[in-house]
């Protein structure tokens, strides 16, 4: 059976990929197809599915600063949207009940509000994977979307804990001591090194220390993984730890999406109700846009964040499953929620891929805030006397900045997508600002680039560098452009698009290392 599941998942995921859809859409459809063929989920798939979600929340925590959640646009935005969205869905469902939709006729007020609450959530799994594929997890709109989703996850965990009637043990108060143990956690993370022990450390802390401790005191295990990830987020190896868990987490999440499809048999009535849910989805997206725009974010930021959240959540299935077990919801409604979640992913995937184009088309008629009233992340940018613009201040961008400073002096301006990262660079004396170079408005906010003679595209994701290159060409930049890439096909693509120099980061690292060795050691090697 396992061979059939793996083969079907691979084929469906491959087809979805070739259709420019996230593989997860293929995994969902594979699950429905397997169920129709007589297959059912089993304990192994359920266990691996749960592990995938737990590791996902742990890795999200690794990238989150608690200050992010405490910002009003995150906690207030998530709360306001959740309340408004739940109210809207409840009213709409009451209208459907009044119109005689059979699946809703026998539902009580409390049950309808519960269903509306479930539909108000967006998918953390889908949004994170979509942002990762585009390399925009750290973009302003990406951090907003993830912050809101984390707040929703917290709402979800609180609700599930309360609805099951499971009260945390009295000794759960000891969990407040976890931040005091952070120095010990940091020391252990330092000691485990960079190999397989780093991966094992992540699994141990996510599943045993985080999930295990919280479950031991009667709280939701997933919340524990999220909290432990956030406690480790300030460590210098947090990003490396997240990357080391990436492939393992992705593999487990395949089981998560298969499990959704294998949960129940779709029916005509369930499919019809799912289509009604999809008709309500645009209002949910409009509410996201309205809430974010009220916090003075630019149209582009509000729109792209809304598109990332433009879906129904796997949490709806969790709530539906719980309600079904307690007799609050019929099987048809549970199936309808499962279908609606799957179809919302299929609808949202191409919308997210075309997000930048949709903004360019719609941004002309959506009203923008006055420049002086914009959120502080979106203020106008003055490059000053900078002659070199370095887009992406990771290890490569930082190395390029320092080398240019040693050669020419203070001629460079670095652009870093994370405010925390930019602050660290400035504390080290580098001229670095916060900005998203894939954002068309970023270039429009730059007051003058007449002094800029060279742009270095040093962002870690190829798609991000391509988008920045297109923006430069659209604005008819006259200077030189250099870019990095990981693979030969990416180098060829960049050269075809018109960069003046493209460098393979792996081969260049090797040749740079050799030059450094020769300069430092002056080896007595006989030339042949």
Please name the helix (run of DSSP H) or strand (run of DSSP E) that holds residue 58, with its range, or none.
Answer: helix 43-62
Please name the helix (run of DSSP H) or strand (run of DSSP E) that holds residue 518, with its range, or none.
Answer: helix 505-521
CB neighbour burial string for 353-390, b if at least 16 within 10 angstroms, e if fewer: bebbebbeeeeeeeeeeeeeebeebbeebebeebbbbb
Q: How far apart are CA 391 and CA 499, in angstroms?
A: 14
Q: How far is CA 337 from CA 29, 113, 120, 295, 438, in A?
A: 15, 14, 12, 31, 35
Q: How far apart are CA 458 and CA 412, in angstroms?
A: 13
Residues of the chain with pLDDT under 70: 1, 20, 22, 65, 135, 138, 157, 160-166, 263-266, 318, 321-322, 325, 331, 363-364, 369-380, 439-441, 444-445, 447, 527-528
Q: How far apart are CA 110 and CA 438, in angstroms?
A: 45
Cβ-based neighbour number of residue 509 at 10 Å? 13
**How many helices (H) and strands (E) would you count in the chain?**
25, 6
In 262-330, which ranges are continuous DSSP H helix? 268-294, 299-308, 314-325
Listed in order, strand segments (DSSP E) in 106-258 are none
The secondary structure of 376-420, three-state, reads: HHHCCECCCCCCEEEECCCHHHHHHHHHHHHHHCCCEEEEECCHH
Q: How far apart are CA 316 and CA 86, in angstroms?
A: 12
Q: Among 403, 388, 414, which Cα is nearest to 515's?
A: 403
Q: Among 104, 77, 100, 75, which Cα is nearest to 89's?
A: 104
Cα angle for residues 179, 181, 185 (degrees, 5° grid): 110
pLDDT at 419: 78
Q: How far apart are CA 208 and CA 204, in angstroms?
A: 5
Helix, strand or coil, per DSSP, at residue 483: strand
Write out the DSSP string of 143-182. HHHHHHHHHHHHHHHHHHHHHTT-PPPGGGGGGGGGGGGH
Decide the pairing of beta strands 501-504 and 480-485: parallel
Helix, strand or coil, per DSSP, at residue 38: coil
Write out the DSSP string of 13-37. HHHHHHTTS-HHHHHHHHHHHHHHT
Q: How far apart are CA 227 and CA 476, in angstroms?
A: 47
Cα 452 from chain centroid? 33
Under a CB-based contact definition with an 8 Å cutoff, are residues 41 and 263 in contact? yes
Write out the DSSP string of 345-377. HHHHHHHHHTHHHHHHHHTTTSPPPPGGGS-GG
Decide the pairing of beta strands 388-391 and 412-416: parallel
Give 388-399 pLDDT, tens digit per residue.
999 989 888 998
pLDDT at 375: 62
Give 90-129 pLDDT, tens digit per residue.
999 999 988 888 778 888 888 899 889 989 999 887 888 7
Instruction: State the distance between the two ends of the chain, measured CA to CA, in whole angstroms.
Output: 61
């Amino acid at each position: 059976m396992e061979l059939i599941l793996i083969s079907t998942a691979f084929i469906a995921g491959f087809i979805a990929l070739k259709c420019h859809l996230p593989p997860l859409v293929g995994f969902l459809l594979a699950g429905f197809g397997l169920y129709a063929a007589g297959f059912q989920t089993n304990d192994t798939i359920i266990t691996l599915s749960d592990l995938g979600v737990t590791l996902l929340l742990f890795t999200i925590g690794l990238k989150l600063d608690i200050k992010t959640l405490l910002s009003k646009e995150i906690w207030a935005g998530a709360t306001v949207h959740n309340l408004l969205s739940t109210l809207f869905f409840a009213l709409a469902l009451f209208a459907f009940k009044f119109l005689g939709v059979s699946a809703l006729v026998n539902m009580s007020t409390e049950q309808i509000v519960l269903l509306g609450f479930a539909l108000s959530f967006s998918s953390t799994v889908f949004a994170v994977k979509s942002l990762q594929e585009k390399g925009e997890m750290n973009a302003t709109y990406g951090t907003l979307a993830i912050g809101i989703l984390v707040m929703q996850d917290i709402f979800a965990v609180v609700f599930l804990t309360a609805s099951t009637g499971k009260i945390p043990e009295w000794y759960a108060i000891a969990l407040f001591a976890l931040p005091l143990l952070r120095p010990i956690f940091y020391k252990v993370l330092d000691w485990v090194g960079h190999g397989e022990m780093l991966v094992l450390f992540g699994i141990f802390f996510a599943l045993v220390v985080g999930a295990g401790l919280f479950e031991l005191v009667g709280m939701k295990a997933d919340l524990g993984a999220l909290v432990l990830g956030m406690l480790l987020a300030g460590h210098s190896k947090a990003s490396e730890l997240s990357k080391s868990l990436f492939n393992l987490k992705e593999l487990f999440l395949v089981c998560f999406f298969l499990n959704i499809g294998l949960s129940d048999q779709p029916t005509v009535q369930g499919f019809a109700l799912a289509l009604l849910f999809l008709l309500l989805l645009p209002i949910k997206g409009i509410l996201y846009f309205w809430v974010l725009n009220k916090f003075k974010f630019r149209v582009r930021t509000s729109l792209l964040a809304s598109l990332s959240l433009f879906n129904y959540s796997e949490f709806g299935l969790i709530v539906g499953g719980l309600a079904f077990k307690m007799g609050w919801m019929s099987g048809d409604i549970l199936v309808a929620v499962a279908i609606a979640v799957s179809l919302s992913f299929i609808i949202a995937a191409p919308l997210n891929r075309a997000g930048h184009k949709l903004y360019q088309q719609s941004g002309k008629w959506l009203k923008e805030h006055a420049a002086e009233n914009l959120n502080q992340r979106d203020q106008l940018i003055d490059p000053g006397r900078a002659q070199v613009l370095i887009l992406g201040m990771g290890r490569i961008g930082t190395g390029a900045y320092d080398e240019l400073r040693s050669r020419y002096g203070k001629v460079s301006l670095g652009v870093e997508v994370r405010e925390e990262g930019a602050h660290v660079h400035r504390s080290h004396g580098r001229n670095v600002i916060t900005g998203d170079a894939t954002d068309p408005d970023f270039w429009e906010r730059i007051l003058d680039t007449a002094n800029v003679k060279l742009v270095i595209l040093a962002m870690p994701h190829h798609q991000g560098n391509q988008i920045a290159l297109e923006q430069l060409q659209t604005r008819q930049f006259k200077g030189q452009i250099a870019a990095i890439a990981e693979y030969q096909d990416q180098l060829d693509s960049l050269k075809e698009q018109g960069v003046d120099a493209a460098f393979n980061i792996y081969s260049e690292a090797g040749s740079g290392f050799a030059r450094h060795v020769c300069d430092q050691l002056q080896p007595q090697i006989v030339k042949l």
